[in-house]
Structure 1
């Protein structure tokens, strides 16, 4: 095969952190090789099968582009989603490939030595070496050994959002963010949706007042949620799938036209032969990294989901910043610097969270004040009624001694935006009083903070 082709930087996987760093280094004149196993994944999970397409479907479900039967509206939504992902996939490809010093290979990579790889592309195999190597292969769905989970009517989120026919009955196994988001979207499209999970309480990490309100919103949307349930097996009679459950001492069967397995995601390291590179993994299968995202192999970093950190594309982007600082600056930035990282589950209305919940703050021994109001009682938030959705609540947990915000749960229209403001305030020690007395535009959802924070 000869000597391996040598590059300043080799990237395995086109995730957010990797693609941004690849474009950055190529713009600086470094020779860059990007390896992606599928031309359908240029741009990474978020662009193609994750955040963007799923949220596009949520938006289409809530604001259909035309009239007609549910099946027709759903088919139109899939078409719009596909057009969007194709557009962004092309732009993300150009983001890297447009640089003269960048090369893209569509193929599968595996390590054969320290910073040396073989890449199988079609019938060809090429050998490459990187002065620096960056692993960003993302994550894949978790599929536990439940009998029948590999059946013909069982799909993951990746397959579900590519189907052009709306399933009349959808059973969702898993009540995490992915399961709830898609359950809510498909119920709005017109599917009869049942969600099943082993947890005894919905959203166990949330305060009960918030979780109970979310549960009531899901119920009002026609979604049945069955908790404390063990999936024994999934059967298929050739036309219908059946999810067989045990809840306590009771056996129950849920019939469905389609079953969505939404049981989380795990780091994707299959086939990389990491041991050949001296790259260690954790007990959970993630690539082991330090606070600067360096692996156990010199000159090899891991960015994004594959390193076992929070599975958010914006965290992967921060991974890029951490590595960039090592390459061009003092390298002081680290994962330990992260504070007040927000998250949003895009049900309708969206549920956003940052920092501590009330229960967590009390358990950690803080003396707290809690500002909480249901959206339908907030006079200073007319936007919710303007857009026709005054459901939900806003809850802010404040340190009684310092007046600093410890956390917030925001379940309302535009919560995905409000939470970013609160997170920024937390990172820069802006007090609850300052947030309460700040001038916000009107009518906006953010101005709800004026009234909510006046309750403490």
Structure 2
């Protein structure tokens, strides 16, 4: 049995960054990755990078004279080439590093200090002083009637492997993942229907933002069916049909040649043998951790999606920072110290948010002043011919602090980081109102947005 200083299970952002850091500090590290197709983790192979490649390609389609089918096939090829390149770079980033050994196989805990690794070449055991679990998450498959026998059904991973553009795409799930794929495939030319169980479209967003998003997406030939419960899924006429009931109405159905299940993601804890350890999981099967990301086993940590935190690759990276601060710092950085986490939903245009929106502020009884600016008022948006959207910010009326910001506009995924930095260092809204930005850019819209607070 081979002994290591540390064993990391899962090649995700937090795990791979930690592996390199430990090795550079003289530790002997084993990196266990279940699949050779997942070197570099979920983000690089099946999530952030490939989907954003498709976002970019789908946005470019309006400038192309190619048929939508040819353009889509080219986009899939471009996406595959990119992920293959990054996967290879990530593998060698660790495997070529002195002190790191990469094993491709499935890891199962035998107890708190030993694992079994099953590979194509055989099974062996490893032990270590410390373990770090970074196995990510995977799509949830609901128990819909007829799903097991239905064809042309995909999840967020397998749909990206489809090399023929669906003429009619059905999406079950109106959350952020469902909307991203709806926007992507509508831009490519698919007729898209989104079936959402919620009675309120984007229920966590302010109504003015949600309605602006819905209006833009509906203009892309996306149909939304809200407050709907899926009854069954079946094959029909070389495609798939979904029967559903909306509210108290009669049952209806929609047919298509592809169905995407965008019904959430679950932590990847199955098969890890956690029952053989002192590690506890919660009712969602996420690994229970404290603010230092330690599990209920003294020598084991969990990073990224698997610990039930926000499902973003940059949170996995920030989890690495928490662990690094324990191992090589003063241990002062914890999950509680993490604040103002931004997010972006890469529909077209992009929806980004940080801090509070009006809905949250009202629910928490926080006083605020709201300012808004239509995207059409931004010169850069007119130059780029992307005038759809709305910019919105909340300001503390007593301290001038920025409480939150929602940007539904082109390039908002870049702009939101500027707002986040201002919030993090506790700058008043006047800082963004008066900052010198280059022209013509989308960022300079922050001048005009926050100047609205003086009116």
Taking the aligned partners of 1:109 and 1:253, their CA distance within structure 2 comes to 43
Once the two structures are TM-superposed, the CA of residue 54 in structure 1 deviates from its matched residue by: 0.4
Q: How does 1:243-282 map to 2 (within 5 A)?
A: 243-248=242-247, 249-282=249-282
| 2:104 counterpart (106, 112, 116) | 106
Q: If the length of structure 1 is used for normalisation, what is the TM-score?
A: 0.97
Taking the aligned partners of 1:342 and 1:292, their CA distance within structure 2 comes to 21
- 2:15 is the alignment partner of 1:55: no
Structure 1, gaps ≥5 residues long: none
Give the 3-state SS of the residue equivalent to 2:54 in structure 1: helix
Is contact 2:31-2:101 (8 Å) kept? yes
Tell me the equivalent position of 2:367.
367
Give the 3-state SS of the residue equivalent to 1:78 in structure 2: helix
Give the 3-state SS of the residue equivalent to 1:335 in structure 2: coil
Give the 3-state SS of the residue equivalent to 2:369 in structure 1: strand
Taking the aligned partners of 1:165 and 1:364, their CA distance within structure 2 comes to 47
Once the two structures are TM-superposed, the CA of residue 453 in structure 1 deviates from its matched residue by: 1.2
Is contact 1:356-1:397 (8 Å) kept? yes
Aligned length: 450
Give the 3-state SS of the residue equivalent to 1:129 in structure 2: strand
Q: How does 1:200-279 map to 2 (within 5 A)?
A: 200-237=199-236, 239-248=238-247, 249-279=249-279
Distance 1:238 1:129, change over 3 A: farther
Is contact 2:7-2:128 (8 Å) kept? yes
Once the two structures are TM-superposed, the CA of residue 28 in structure 1 deviates from its matched residue by: 1.9
Once the two structures are TM-superposed, the CA of residue 440 in structure 1 deviates from its matched residue by: 0.9
Q: If the length of structure 2 is used for normalisation, what is the TM-score?
A: 0.97
Is contact 2:171-2:193 (8 Å) kept? yes
Once the two structures are TM-superposed, the CA of residue 123 in structure 1 deviates from its matched residue by: 4.2
Tell me the equivalent position of 2:327.
327
Once the two structures are TM-superposed, the CA of residue 67 in structure 1 deviates from its matched residue by: 3.0
Taking the aligned partners of 2:180 and 2:304, their CA distance within structure 1 comes to 22
Once the two structures are TM-superposed, the CA of residue 238 in structure 1 deviates from its matched residue by: 5.7
Once the two structures are TM-superposed, the CA of residue 322 in structure 1 deviates from its matched residue by: 0.2
Is contact 2:204-2:359 (8 Å) kept? no
CA RMSD of aligned residues (A): 1.0
Taking the aligned partners of 1:395 and 1:354, their CA distance within structure 2 comes to 11
Once the two structures are TM-superposed, the CA of residue 149 in structure 1 deviates from its matched residue by: 2.8
Taking the aligned partners of 1:229 and 1:313, their CA distance within structure 2 comes to 31
Taking the aligned partners of 2:215 and 2:410, their CA distance within structure 1 comes to 16
Once the two structures are TM-superposed, the CA of residue 130 in structure 1 deviates from its matched residue by: 1.2
Q: How does 1:367-406 map to 2 (within 5 A)?
A: 367-376=367-376, 378=377, 381-406=378-403
Tell me the equivalent position of 1:13.
10
Once the two structures are TM-superposed, the CA of residue 298 in structure 1 deviates from its matched residue by: 1.1
Tell me the equivalent position of 1:89.
87
Tell me the alpha carbon deviations over residues 213-233 of structure 1, each in whole angstroms, 9 at most, x when there is no partner: 100000111100110000011
Once the two structures are TM-superposed, the CA of residue 454 in structure 1 deviates from its matched residue by: 1.5
Would you identify which runs of 4 or more consecutive aligned residues in structure 1 move more than 4 Å?
Answer: none
Once the two structures are TM-superposed, the CA of residue 72 in structure 1 deviates from its matched residue by: 0.4
Taking the aligned partners of 2:131 and 2:285, their CA distance within structure 1 comes to 19
Taking the aligned partners of 1:450 and 1:139, their CA distance within structure 2 comes to 39
Is contact 1:143-1:149 (8 Å) kept? no
Q: How does 1:433-448 map to 2 (within 5 A)?
A: 433-448=430-445
Which has the higher mean CA deviation after the structures are superposed, 94-103 or 216-225?
94-103
Give the 3-state SS of the residue equivalent to 1:9 in structure 2: strand
Which has the higher mean CA deviation after the structures are superposed, 356-365 or 286-295?
356-365
Is contact 2:395-2:401 (8 Å) kept? yes
Tell me the equivalent position of 1:167.
166
Taking the aligned partners of 1:158 and 1:251, their CA distance within structure 2 comes to 30
Taking the aligned partners of 1:98 and 1:33, their CA distance within structure 2 comes to 13
Taking the aligned partners of 1:115 and 1:345, their CA distance within structure 2 comes to 40
